[in-house]
Structure 1
């Protein structure tokens, strides 16, 4: 398949997934000889192992590494649980995260008799990993020679992806401008990461083998601090922004404009109009096209609207 892609679309870069078991520089050399431009490292690699790979591969071969998001319970993400239970294939981007579910034990000679596995009154989520978060370790990631930081956003909202990507982008830029600026802004980075969805965090395998502290045993949920309302498509001459609404909001509510440069502007919803120009007091229907007039700040194309809960 790789050779077919190379022959039919030679102008398109070819990247190798983490599921190709990319754990050493010999593997990277193999893919480079076949024409790969970028290889995504296995999540099980340590920072030192990534540095060793970087030192022993061609300069034009890029390393991409997961730095944030859900950690798969299976080796390098090669899991069949989602496909088996729900028909949604994790290897094609549709994982339902069955590792976050609550399980019991069944003894083979006593079918139908479920033996509970308890850590406390809420049960035990024995496959449930903490989320990876490397926002506090940008210097180490850059020093390791990683070319592309990969953020896991599977089955997440656009608000989640935008918030996390924006935060890492700013952290990288701040550090490259001045390491002291990066340290000064660390509370802001942490606040932004926690604002979209929050689970307990881990550094994964970057600084050694995982242990019992990388798991979450008492629950399987995210805590959400903000609700995603929509992305601004365009803004007319009168300042009204066109959005495809994703969650309900109403006239008079306080919301935020989340901008790519890191600004969060608090505004008030002054008017909501549908596509026919008719005013409405609220926007209860998901994916409805609306024109929204805001007071207190101006939105621009690709800004995100969100509401603090």
Structure 2
């Protein structure tokens, strides 16, 4: 790579922002794994650096065109659900761990019958001894179809397909498709970019929507002077593939900075985003019609937060 500009960080001693350009031929086409291995692989461990943080990256349109991106995108999801002109409303089933599969399915039914569009598995609901994945899938599918028949609406539940191997993950996604469930879920950071991209391709080929959970993101993005900003992880997800992702919020238990949060929300869903440093957008980004990702307001949200969320 070549460093073409350096600027001091305002208000900080001995901190600088370096702008580095890389030849495109250094990167394998369609591989977020290779992209990250090259850009943030070993350099963060160099002894010469006290700390290093990746704030943003501009992805050239010619490289974007080598990725499939989200399986379907925002518009296709709304078409599948036949729901327009309003936010989609969902919740996570609690307690997250400990329920039997039958009681879990009962909770899903009550939430969907009560008016929600979606319910979801929590990020660490996989296939534990008290609730194996296949049992959960079957009881959730029963709850889903019962609520649909009673309300006349299309409903969904994010069945977490994350597993210990990619083969097992795809087997769970295939089971969800065979049951007629419209959406599956994946923990894309703990599961890995290669597994996530494989699942995104499967979902596009088989008509499944894909919800993405960002479990483990704070390990990478919470420190202000080391790691990487979530906007980088958001861009990587849009390349790797996901129809919606937890994007935090400006209220609730996982509160984020308002303008910066709105900045990476735009990076997820819009096709063309202008450079806007106050909102944390360092580069103009053209996604060249790659489908958008629906940002999910997440983290301790309840009804009293709705006015702030809609402002």
TM-score range, shorter chain: 0.3 to 0.5
Higher relative contact order (Cα pairs below 8 Å, separated by 6+ residues): 2
Q: TM-score, normalised by structure 2?
A: 0.34
Q: TM-score, normalised by structure 1?
A: 0.34
Greater fraction helix? 2
Greater fraction strand? 1
